[in-house]
Amino acid sequence: MTNDQPSPTGMSVRELRRRWKPTKERLRESDRHEPIRIRIHRTCSWLQRVEEIEPESASDTGLIFRWIALNSLYGLWDDSARQPTPDREALESFLDMIAEIDRDELLPAVLEEHRKLVMSIFKDEYLVKTFWENPTEGQARRARKTRFDANTWYLEKHYRLILDQVVDRIYFLRCQLIHGGATLGSQLNRDAVRRCATMLGHLLPTVLVIMIDHGVDEDWGPLCYPPMRAADGHAGG
């Protein structure tokens, strides 16, 4: 990203839709029913809801809705298994493609811009899966070691590794919430929820801009549950 290019992290849904509109209209006029159109439409619908619930969007609800928005982008349908591709597999594949087409280096820029927030997420041992396998102080110290490793990653510009690690922690907290492993509004995880929701809020507009600017002609894979209309007019998806 050039120095005079504004960061996409603060873009509203309205601004994102405005950026997407010319390409969306071009695809519609050419009669190309691209899955990317549906993915972006679904994502913006969830992000719109996040904006509507501010300032609660830095809480449990905001984190969950933001993850649904991200999931709308990376979810893949497995035709052979006739069901969605396993979540982590689809997410990893998606991040690979996003990193590959990030010609303006927006991801490194957002990770640098919010380095302090990233480091605060890394120092939280409760966001590391291995800690819960043996929740002791020794395991906590090992989990927090990422904070020190990350200084080297930043120095050596291993941004994809940083991205993977921070998304992994956000995903872990997402799983805790979705699977009933935390109390709604619990004071024990307020800092973690706020940090992860905020960081995901920075990453999502960045990812969307990358897709809009450079990902329209990429193959994002089969869409999960595409919109359908039955003979009786009932719609689904």
Show the tokens assigned to 139.
């395991």
Instruction: Evaluate whether residue 229 is within a structural domain.
Output: no
- Is the Cβ–Cβ distance between 208 and 16 less than 8 Å? yes
* DSSP codes of every residue in 17-59: HHHHHHHHHHHHHTT---HHHHHHHHHHHHHHHHHHTTTGGGS
In a domain, 4, yes or no: no
Q: Write the pLDDT tens digit of every residue in 191-223.
A: 999 999 999 999 999 999 999 999 998 999 999
The answer to whether position 230 is within a domain reads no
Q: Is the dihedral angle over the CA atoms 53, 57, 63, 68 positive or is it negative?
A: positive
pLDDT in tens, 136-188: 888 888 878 888 899 999 999 999 999 999 999 999 999 999 999 999 999 99
Count Cβ atoms below 10 Å from residue 35 Cβ, excluding itself.
16
**Residue type at 193 in one-letter notation:** V
Q: Give the whole-angstrom CA distance, residue 36 versus residue 215.
A: 9
Tokens in use for 104?
């303006």
Whole domain around residue 154: which residue ranges? 9-221
pTM of the complete model: 0.91
Is 146 a domain residue? yes
Number of domains in the chain: 1
Are 110 and 214 a contacting pair, CB within 8 Å? no
pLDDT (average), residues 17-39: 84
